[in-house]
Amino acid sequence: MGLFQQLYGWLGAWIIIFWSIIKFFLPAQKKSLAGEIVLVTGAGSGIGRLMSINFAKLGSTLVIWDINKDGADETVKQITDLGGQAHSYRCDVTKKDEVYRLAKQVKNDVGDVTILVNNAGIVAGRRFLDCPDELVERTMEVNAMSIFWTLKAFLPSMVAKNHGHLVTVASMAGTFGSPFLVEYCASKFAAVGVHEALTAELSDLEINGVQTTLVQPFFIATGMFDGVKTGDIPMLEPDYVADKVVHAVQVNQRQLCIPKIMYFIAYFKTWMPVNAYIFLAKATNSYRTMDNYTGREKKAT
């Protein structure tokens, strides 16, 4: 690699860094989401539902996917009550044939999906050796494998039109490994990897009309994490997260960590020795977060 390319690369990178800092202080240009067809997986509850409602308020047509049809129908009802447009489908995103079949049906019923929000997620919330094989597989399939199938189903029409947006709702667990979350962290690291590599590939192919946004929240106070007790950093309100995600889509933000402190914690990890990082986590009680985890299912019993 020649010296000229090295200089060109570094100069360009620094210009983009300074430009990003300036942009941070300027009011962001928002793109219109009116007329977009937005598919959200796991939209029958939690932030999936809240994000869907926000997109609908901005004039998008929603495609609501959830394994729980009643939840999906309820989301559609809340959107239509607000005067928005939405269609619900029962979909098990882990079954790729079902994903492909329903994708065809969505194309016929609604049209080409232009914004894909991979949001469906589950967690076992147990010590790894207490976690049955089925739960390990289930988490990997829902949180990670399903992203491949929805991308295969909906990315081609976005690429053909050079227009679209891919949103991956991962987690800070996609950057840090934590106790009680071994299978969950594995699935979220995978989701982050898929997202990052595909973002690179779209850029390599100069498909610049297809935007990507990676979302990495800290614990959100939905039923999914009932019983979690965080320390100095409070759990996130679902409404707040949904607002942030939709805003990130409007301004084509590449990465969204919530709360902002997470950007710094992620940075520390890049240079601290592992033992220093673990010491810090233990000293701040970070590993106690999941001690009294109950989650949605266990709470019902």
What are the residues binding ligand NAG (CB under 6 A)?
229, 288, 291-292
Sign, Cα dihedral of 200, 205, 206, 208:
negative
Burial class (CB in 10 A: 0-12, 13-18, 19+), 110: middle
In sequence order, the β-bridge partners of residue 166 are 116, 212
Given the complex with ligand NAG, which of 239 and 291 has the nearer CB atom?
291
Measured from the CB atom, is 26 or 283 closer to ligand NAG?
A: 283
End-to-end CA distance of the chain: give it in Å, rounded: 62
Strands 255-258 and 210-217: parallel
The residue sitting closest to ligand NAG, measured at its beta carbon, is 292
Minimum distance from CB of 227 to ligand NAG (Å)?
Answer: 9
Residue 6 CA neighbour count, 13 Å, CB half: 3
Residue 250 CB, nearest approach to ligand NAG (Å): 38
Q: Which is closer to ligand NAG, CB of 57 or CB of 288?
A: 288
- List, by residue number, the catalytic residues: 184
Nearer to ligand NAG, 162 or 292 (CB): 292
Tell the smallest beta-carbon distance from residue 229 to ligand NAG (Å). 4
DSSP 101-147: HHHHHHHHHT----EEEE-------S-GGGS-HHHHHHHHIIIIIHH
Minimum Å gap between C-beta 292 and ligand NAG is 4
> In this structure, are residues 142 and 190 in contact, taking their beta carbons and an 8 Å threshold?
no
**Dihedral sign (CA 103, 71, 251, 256):** negative
Q: Measured from the CB atom, is 78 or 178 closer to ligand NAG? A: 178
CB of 218 to ligand NAG, least distance (A): 16
Q: What does DSSP assign to residue 224?
A: G
Amino acid at 268: F
For ligand NAG, the closer of residues 90 and 229 by Cβ is 229
Q: Find the shortest distance in angstroms from Cβ 285 to ligand NAG.
A: 7
- Residue labelled with tokens 């019993």: 301
Residue 219's closest CA among 249, 258, 189, 178? 258
Q: Which of 94, 117, 106, 120 is nearest to 42 (CA)?
A: 120
